[in-house]
Amino acid sequence: MSLKGRNISGETTHLEVSFDDEITDDGRNNQEQTRSMGKDKTMKKIGNLFLKSEADIPLTVRDPGHLNDFVKVSFEDVFAEPDGSHSFDAIWKTSHIVFMESRLCCYRALTSICAVPCALYWGINFACLSFDLIWWIQPWLRSIQVILKPLASICIMCLKALVDPCFESCGKFLANIRLNLSKDSNGSTRA
């Protein structure tokens, strides 16, 4: 399905929406293995699911939101020799290289073993969380809100009937209090 319209600045825009088994602009059927999504963007089809191509997955900037900047630990953040206590330069350089390379190798080994299962676990976890929020918690909160609305009206009526007269009486009583200040002949103020 193609839709044409105008954006806020008045330029003509074109939107392409495709459903399963519908023919796209270039005449290809969605059942084909790849699907063009514009300039240099293709999606690979697995069953009824379209996945981004590897070209669309960022490989250089993997933390664009800077979520894990605090994890950046370099050799200088861990080890520091004060001016009076320096080891041999060769030992210092070798220690630096061993620290950085062992940290990188260990991280890569752990991620190669654990990253995919962790991604699966967290994907399922966030899917369950979304499901709970959408299908359990939000409807439950809405039903509580609907139930409490009449009770809130009853509470407001009771407060107006019982408490408002007391406060109105106190207000009228205190409104009639007058305080007159006068000065004595020696300059002190009296009430």
DSSP-assigned states of every residue in 127-175: HHHHHHIIIIIHHHHHHHHHHHHHHHHHHHHHHHHHHHHHHHHHHHHHH
Residue 131: pLDDT above 80?
yes
Specify the pLDDT at position 45. 57
pLDDT of 119 higher than 50: yes
The mean pLDDT of 157-172, rounded to a whole number, is: 91
Give residues with Cβ within 8 angstroms of 6, minimum separation 6: 12, 13
Residue 82 has pLDDT above 50, yes or no: yes
pLDDT in tens, 14-45: 444 444 444 444 444 444 444 444 444 555 55
Is residue 122 over pLDDT 50? yes
- Distance, in Å, from the CA atom of 155 to the CA atom of 164, rounded to the nearest integer, reads 13
Of residues 1 and 164, more confidence is placed in 164
N residues, the chain: 191
pLDDT given for residue 184 in this prediction: 77
Residue 58 has pLDDT above 90, yes or no: no
